Amino acid sequence: MATQQQQEDISVSVVVCIGAGYVGACTFAVIASHCPEYKVIVCDIDEKRIAGWNRAHDGTVPLFEPGLVETIQRAKNENDNLFFTHDVKGAIKESSIIFIAVNTPTKTFGRGAGSAFDMSSWEAVSRTIAAEADSNKIIVEKSTVPVRTAEKVLQILNSAKKNKSVEFQIISNPEFLAEGSAMRDLESPDRVLVGGDQDTPAGRAAVQEICDIYAHWVPQQKIITTNMWTSELAKLASNAFLAQRISSINAISAICEECGGNVEDISRVLGMDDRIGNKYLKASAGFGGSCLKKDVMALVYISESYQLHQVADFFRGIVAINEFQKKRFATRIVESMYGNARGKKIAVLGFSFKKDTGDIRESCAIEIIQVLLNENADIFVFDPKVSKEEILGVFPTVTVVDDVTEAYTGADALVIITEWDIFKTYDYAAIFEVMRKPAFIFDGRNILDNAKLTQLGFSVHSIGMRTWDEPKILL
Ligand code: NAD
Ligand code: UGA
């Protein structure tokens, strides 16, 4: 029979993730594939989602992410160490390290509505852990959370724990993956951040245990350790910097459309300056996704709660420019078509918030289509990955097509919302032939060749480039 020490050694290798969404599934598939000696359990209260993950051997999973199915299959087939279950309590009991990757959306009610995080799932999970834990645990914040979440969680765990001898260590290990490139981001991350209590031996040991997981495949120099509050804040700061860059270039795009500058050339000029760098300088109809706006607004709320009103205004401005950009693009579509979209057939290409994902959370498609529907336009949507049901769930009156030709045949305008690579490969000469004239293209991603399209006869409108016969937009 195993001694207590041996039992502890065995339990150290059971890593649990609560929350089987994008972050939970992708991150722990990669961890399982690199760490054959760990048993990795990903659990969730959503039984349907768990059943979906358990069908990965058929090649079908609940969320589309390039390379994810293959990684799950690899972990399962080669290491036999990755398990998906809705038995959250059982997983907690079995674990010694618990990552929490549940959703932390923006609050829609009460104090902080529209900016603060809704931490109700987090609190629920903390209480479940407190009730079920019967051995010491390292609890890891994987979700993006407000600063100083760790002290609140520790308070809940310690005061609500059933077994009073159980001890908890809290670690912050925020996730930086981006959807569409998640597997690449996880396989070779720019950095891994582990924050924790650096003042006690137990705290330092817990930090080391989490670093050891990543050290299986991430070079040591890319694993950064900090104190808890630095780590929690660094995640929010990172997303705020990314959002800030997009809003900065989009603000410049608005000036370009007035003065005749070309935003693509400006991005190139800026990007060649090493101090500025060339990433996140792509002007667009607005950033989307479940996190950039949410995390910037969380910083607004945090700043306000520390009475840092000017700081809050700075971050609020990033989101305000994004809202302005979406509205500007939608208005430009209507104004360019003689201020009248009523009854006009508009083909919307792309519904996801970026290419290579089926995720529609905060996609700029939603606001742009809403403006067009308000003008009584006849909307046809095509997206290579977003399901008909999901689009109709948002807009029951649009037509969703499986074949893009049905969208553009007889259309007055083609609106590019998502930068899917396939949209660049279409035969636009043939498309022009079957559209009603004048045929408009509104390229919300600047992925098409303006000069070529203009030559074909299209009236082309891109972000941050003004066609001089364009009417002035009245917002
Ligand atoms: P998600 O909505 O895809 O998944 C969250 C999962 O948590 C859901 O499946 C939900 O059923 C589950 N859940 C909720 N309450 C639960 C409970 N009490 N017990 C068990 N499971 C529960 O969310 P996501 O996109 O994976 O994001 C999770 C967190 O990670 C968020 O804080 C987000 O800000 C952060 N994050 C997301 C990304 C991303 O690209 N999506 C990247 C980095 C960080
Ligand atoms: C973003 C961050 O990039 C991740 O590091 C972070 O982990 C994640 O948020 C999170 O916390 O959830 P994600 O939202 O998946 O990842 O996607 P991004 O690639 O950052 O794109 C966000 C939006 O900005 C998309 O709509 C994209 O099209 C848009 N974008 C991006 C631009 O308009 N221009 C750019 O130059 C870059």
- Give the mean pLDDT of the chain: 95
pLDDT tier at 179 (50, 70, 90 boundaries)? very high
Question: What pLDDT was estimated at residue 405?
Answer: 98
Counting residues of the chain whose pLDDT is more than 90, the rounded percentage is 94
Q: Which of 238, 290, 293, 297 to mutate to test the pocket of ligand 1 (most atoms within 8 A of CB)?
A: 290
The two three-digit tokens of residue 247, written as one number: 């809003």
Q: Is 175 in the pocket of ligand 2 (CB under 6 A)?
A: yes
Counting residues of the chain whose pLDDT is more than 70, the rounded percentage is 96
CATH class label, 321-462:
alpha beta
- pLDDT at residue 470 above 90? no
**Residue-wise pLDDT tens digits, 97-109:** 999 999 999 999 9
Is 259 marked active-site? no
**Residue-wise pLDDT tens digits, 309-341:** 999 999 999 999 999 999 999 999 999 999 999
Domain with CATH 3.40.50.720 in the chain: 4-226, 321-462
pLDDT tier at 372 (50, 70, 90 boundaries)? very high
Minimal-distance CA residue to ligand 2 atom 18: 178
Minimal-distance CA residue to ligand 1 atom 11: 46
Question: What pLDDT was estimated at residue 2?
Answer: 38
Q: Which of 291, 297, 357, 362 to mutate to test the pocket of ligand 1 (most atoms within 8 A of CB)?
A: 291
Q: Is 284 in the pocket of ligand 2 (CB under 6 A)?
A: yes
Which residue in the list 35, 211, 291, 364 is annotated as catalytic? 291
Question: What pLDDT was estimated at residue 290?
Answer: 94
Q: Is 149 in the pocket of ligand 2 (CB under 6 A)?
A: no
Q: Tell whether the torsion through CA atoms of 75, 77, 78 and 79 is positive or negative.
A: positive
- pLDDT at residue 184 above 60? yes
Q: Give residue 298 CA to ligand 1 midpoint distance, Å.
A: 16
Q: Is 281 in the pocket of ligand 2 (CB under 6 A)?
A: yes
Q: Does residue 461 contact residue 251 with C-beta atoms inside 8 Å? A: no
- pLDDT at residue 10 above 80? no
Question: What pLDDT was estimated at residue 469?
Answer: 66
**Residue-wise pLDDT tens digits, 406-457:** 999 999 999 999 999 999 999 999 999 999 999 999 999 999 999 999 999 9
Question: What pLDDT was estimated at residue 474?
Answer: 63
**Residue-wise pLDDT tens digits, 82-97:** 999 999 999 999 999 9
Q: Give residue 101 CA to ligand 1 midpoint distance, Å.
A: 5
Q: Is 242 in the pocket of ligand 2 (CB under 6 A)?
A: yes
Cis peptide before 438 (omega within 30 of 0): yes
DSSP 78: I
Ligand nearest to the CA of 247: 2
Question: What pLDDT was estimated at residue 105?
Answer: 97
pLDDT tier at 57 (50, 70, 90 boundaries)? confident
Residue with tokens 């996730």: 175
Closest CA to 183 of 58, 36, 356, 19: 356
Q: Give residue 178 CA to ligand 2 midpoint distance, Å.
A: 6
Concatenating the DSSP letter of every residue in 231-245 gives HHHHHHHHHHHHHHH
Question: What pLDDT was estimated at residue 466?
Answer: 81
Question: What pLDDT was estimated at residue 415?
Answer: 98
- pLDDT at residue 62 above 60? yes
- Position with higher pLDDT, 384 vs 60: 384
- pLDDT at residue 12 above 80? no
- Which atom of ligand 2 sits closest to the CA of residue 354? 28
Minimal-distance CA residue to ligand 2 atom 12: 291
Q: Is 236 in the pocket of ligand 2 (CB under 6 A)?
A: no
Closest CA to 174 of 193, 188, 158, 160: 193
Residue type, 360: I
Q: Which of 318, 353, 354 to mutate to test the pocket of ligand 2 (most atoms within 8 A of CB)?
A: 354
**Residue-wise pLDDT tens digits, 137-154:** 999 999 999 999 999 999
Q: What is the pTM of this model?
A: 0.95
- Which atom of ligand 2 sits closest to the CA of residue 23? 12
Residue with tokens 């996609």: 363
Minimal-distance CA residue to ligand 1 atom 42: 177
Q: Which of 144, 191, 239 to mutate to test the pocket of ligand 2 (most atoms within 8 A of CB)?
A: 239
Q: Does residue 90 contact residue 102 with C-beta atoms inside 8 Å? A: no
- pLDDT at residue 389 above 80? yes
Match domain 4-226 to its CATH number in 3.40.50.720, 1.10.150.530, 3.30.465.10, 3.40.50.1000.
3.40.50.720
Average pLDDT over residues 214-230: 98
Question: What pLDDT was estimated at residue 473?
Answer: 65
